[in-house]
Copies of this chain bind each other. A is one copy, B any other.
């Protein structure tokens, strides 16, 4: 406008108005403005009116950094997921965020991309923001990461799994048992040549272990495990790589559906119910899409959103049980 020097930005070089800017305009001290924001009842209606007018006029937005410093409460929570571009984790983030945002908490989101080094880096980045709690999918991949979390002295929720030695709270399900359940189911259906497809992250591996051990305990010959590249777009696995297999457990629904596309191309997919399928396919996650395709996808249903909500509730209180097994459920549809 007039005496502006060099900082030329779209609107004005106005750095955000402060408490005392509002105070000056309203002719009160800054603490009074602070009170109008936090404890309006302590301020005389007439004064309050003046202050509120000043706040509106200046477009005052409190600086949460300063608040956080002064009160040692940041009203933020750190969330670490392998990747957000994966419906199941996205559901979890939505769940926890729906629980937390109305309470005034900010969600600071970080992705590890299934990389241990990046996970540790993200963990300390997160911690440097002094969140009041951390919610993560899975458990820290390294000892360093775990130590970081323990020393932080804040509530920590590990999700999507049931770690043997949890840091603090847990909201998950038994991935090993999920594998066992699938193996038993397939055996009960009379299948006898198994394969597992999916990533090799800790949780997928736990599913594989359960699947593998249970299958063998039931007298099935050792299942094959096909580790899929994470960005193997489409993950359309040729059955060529799995000769003779008549039942496949996929680490998640996306892989399962990709695999079914491969089967379809090979003419190995029927529209009828499970017994007609040359190759049974079971997924995990219960994506909505699995219900909609034909043949509909049998899957281990896991409620990602509930995991998120539960984790949020766990970090909000120190009381009650800290380890919650949300369980899973085998949903038997047409694919196997």
Q: Which residues does A use to contact B, with CB under 8 Å?
A: 9-16, 59, 61-66, 68-69, 72, 74, 76, 79, 83-87, 90-91, 93-94, 97-98, 101, 104, 106-111, 113, 122, 124-130, 147-148, 150-153, 168, 233-234, 236, 254, 257-258, 260-261, 264, 288-289, 291-294, 305
Q: How far is the CA of A146 from the CA of B122 in the complex (A)?
A: 32
Cβ–Cβ contact A150 & B65, under 8 A: no
A130 touches B63 (CB 8 A): yes
Do A150 and B61 touch across chains, with their CB atoms under 8 A apart? no
Q: List 16 A-B contacts (CB under 8 A).
A: A12-B153, A65-B68, A65-B130, A69-B69, A84-B94, A85-B87, A90-B90, A97-B109, A106-B110, A106-B125, A106-B126, A107-B108, A254-B289, A257-B292, A258-B288, A293-B293
The residue of chain B having its C-beta at the shortest distance from the C-beta of A265 within the complex is B294
Contact between A264 and B151, CB atoms less than 8 A apart:
no
**CB pair B291 A234 closer than 8 Å:** yes
Chain B hits for A258, CB < 8 A: 288, 292
B234 A292 Cβ-Cβ under 8 A: yes
Whether B10 pairs with A150 at a CB distance below 8 angstroms is yes
Whether A127 contacts B90 by the Cβ 8 Å rule is no
- The answer, among B16, B66, B85, B110, for a CB contact under 8 Å with A91, is B85
**A107 and B74 alpha carbons, distance in the complex (Å):** 15
Contact between chains at B111 and A97 (CB < 8 Å) = yes
Given the complex, which residues of B lie within 8 Å of A257, measured CB to CB? 289, 292-293
Decide: A125 near B104, CB < 8 A? Known: A83-B94, A261-B293: yes
A64 nearest CB neighbor, chain B only: B128
Once the chains are docked, how many angstroms separate the CA of A83 from the CA of B260?
A: 29
Q: Which residues of B contact A63 (CB under 8 A)?
A: 69, 128, 130
Docked complex Cα distance between A87 and B90 (Å): 8
Identify the closest chain B residue to A287 (Cβ).
B289
In the bound complex, residues from chain B placing their C-beta under 8 Å from that of A294 are 261, 264, 294
Contacts of A124 in B (CB 8 A): 61
Check A101 against B106 for contact (C-beta < 8 Å).
Answer: no
Do B61 and A128 touch across chains, with their CB atoms under 8 A apart? yes
CB neighbours of A106 from chain B (8 A): 108, 110, 125-126, 129
In contact, A288 and B84 (Cβ under 8 angstroms): no
CB within 8 Å for A101 and B122 given contacts A68-B65, A234-B288:
yes
Q: How far is the CB of A129 from chain B (nearest CB, A)?
A: 5
Inter-chain contact A233/B61, CB cutoff 8 Å: no
Q: Inside 8 A of A97's CB, which chain B residues have their CB?
A: 84, 109-111
Chain B, residue nearest A83 (CB):
B94
Most buried by B among A15, A72, A147, A151: A151
Of the candidates A122, A147, A152, the one having the most CB atoms from chain B within 10 angstroms of its own CB is: A152
Determine how close the nearest CB of chain B comes to the CB of A75; give it in whole angstroms.
9
Can you list the 6 inter-chain pairs with the closest CB atoms, starting with the nearest?
A261-B292, A85-B94, A64-B128, A59-B151, A109-B109, A90-B90
